[in-house]
A = this chain, B = another copy of it.
Amino acid sequence: MRHAPSPVLRSAPRLAQIEPFHVMRILEAAKQLEAQGRDVIHLEVGEPDFATPPQIIEAGIRALQAGQTFYTGACGLPALREAIAGFYADRFGVHIDARRVIVTPGASGALQLILALLVGRDDEVLLADPGYPCNRHLVTLCEGRPVNIAVGPDSRFQLLARHVEHHAGERTVATLVASPANPTGTVLELAEIAQLAAACRKKNVALIVDEIYQGLVYERAQETALTVAPDAFIVNSFSKFFQMTGWRLGWLVAPEWAIPELEKLAQNLFLAAPTPAQHAALAAFSADTLALLEARRSELDTRRRALCKILTDIGLTLPSPAQGAFYLWADCSAFTDNTETLAARLLNVESIALTPGRDFGDNPAFMRFAYTQPIARLVEAGERLRRSLAHGCTS
């Protein structure tokens, strides 16, 4: 059809399978309301409300003043790769060669590299539904097939070894899990990751673990899958815990065999990660930066507890304990089976912006709440929500 003698160019078939973030429409509408003077509470944004720690900003400024504006090597500044390897040693007692670390433009860049390496056409990647939508779209961009596996409270919305054993077939090349996960905030136990790794090994499938919310866990210790799955592909980021979202900086840790291929892909896909950001990130692991980040983590924990209480008091259900990230995944089925409609109404009537479950797969009765706002705003959001839902919102 696209090659018919038409004067109109067409997009590739894959575009039909890639959805936009539906929340962007919410955001647009929210901005219009704000332009009209409305006080919108933003609980839809996947970004901490803290600016980057001053230590990191100052390191970035020093780098710019010193004229550090040239390309780095495709895998990143050697000093930053060493610092990241050192972080695994110091914090987790995991010793990896710095050459196994590749610095990338955000975790998006890391994930793209890994999928471009592993996923040929029609190859399958197992993913949890609900899950971060970009992941399945990046599989589609490689002409692979995302296999979205419906997961529920019985596995804390996580893919486990039994899912891999059941779903991995001839064409399956990788399993992608996230811990802590977006949108659910649930965490995989190390024992579960070890079982996942064993199941993947048995099926000759790569295990990819997204740890971009690694530092943001509550009521438990920070962990890395590398402890129990040394041959996994690990994706991480300076965005969330280190609060460097706009700098676009992440990293991956890969098994040694994959590094030359990943380097080749990095050269072609993006040349290198941003240089000022890489110099700034050298200050991310210093003791005083980590102390500040710990204080902010603690603040997020306080908000998490507050929002959990607010939502359950209203009558929403939180089916699995959210022990990480900065999201709550709320079952709204007591009120509606269409959270997209509910989200639109909550925005228009109560000026609360939320992300409906549809953005994360086939979850029409769920809503994601981000606690990236101060407590007072969460409380205010709760009052507005209570008012709205009390007025009978059966979709």
Q: Which residue of B lies closest to A66 (CB)?
A: B51
Counted per complex, copies of this chain come to 2
0/1 string, A1-35, CB within 8 A of B gives 1: 01101111101111100111100100000000000
A276 at the interface (CB under 8 A from B): yes
CB within 8 Å of B: which residues of A?
2-3, 5-9, 11-15, 18-21, 24, 47, 51-52, 57, 60-61, 64-65, 67-72, 74, 105-106, 108-109, 112, 116-121, 123, 133-134, 137-138, 141-143, 170-171, 173, 201, 204, 206, 243-248, 255, 257-258, 260-261, 263-265, 267-277
A108 contact from B143, B171, B270, Cβ within 8 A: B270
| Pair B265/A248 contact, Cβ less than 8 Å | no
A264 contacts across to B, CB distance below 8 A: 15, 18-20
Residues of B within 8 A of A5 (CB): 204
Quick check: B11 and A134 within 8 Å, CB to CB? no
List B contacts of A273 (CB < 8 A): 248
A201–B117 touching, CB < 8 Å: no
The 9 A-B residue pairs with the shortest CB-CB distance, nearest first, are A246-B275, A12-B120, A51-B67, A52-B69, A137-B268, A143-B143, A20-B264, A248-B274, A134-B268
Q: Which of B14, B52, B269, B277 contacts A120 (CB 8 A)?
A: B14
B269 close to A118 (CB less than 8 A):
no
- Complex CA distance for A352 and B24, rounded to whole angstroms: 52
Is there an interface contact between A268 and B18, defined as CB atoms closer than 8 Å?
yes
What CA separation (Å) do A21 and B73 show in the bound complex? Answer: 12
Q: Is the CB of B261 within 8 A of A15?
A: yes
- Shortest distance in angstroms between A66's beta carbon and chain B's nearest beta carbon? 9
**Closest residue of B by beta carbon distance from A123:** B12
Which residues of B have CB within 8 Å of A206? 9
For A67, list chain B residues within 8 Å (CB).
51-52, 57
Contacts of A15 in B (CB 8 A): 117, 261, 264-265
A52 CB contacts on chain B under 8 angstroms: 67, 69
Tell me, in angstroms, the Cα distance from A271 to B277 when the chains sit together.
Answer: 16
Contacting residues, chain B, for A141 (C-beta < 8 A): 116, 142, 265, 268-269
Chain B residue with minimal CB distance to A203? B5
Q: Which residues of B contact A47 (CB under 8 A)?
A: 70-71
Question: For A6, A13, A271, which residue has the most chain B Cβ atoms within 10 angstroms?
Answer: A271
- In the complex, the chain B residue whose C-beta lies closest to that of A60 is B64
* Distance between A204 CB and nearest chain B CB, rounded to angstroms: 6
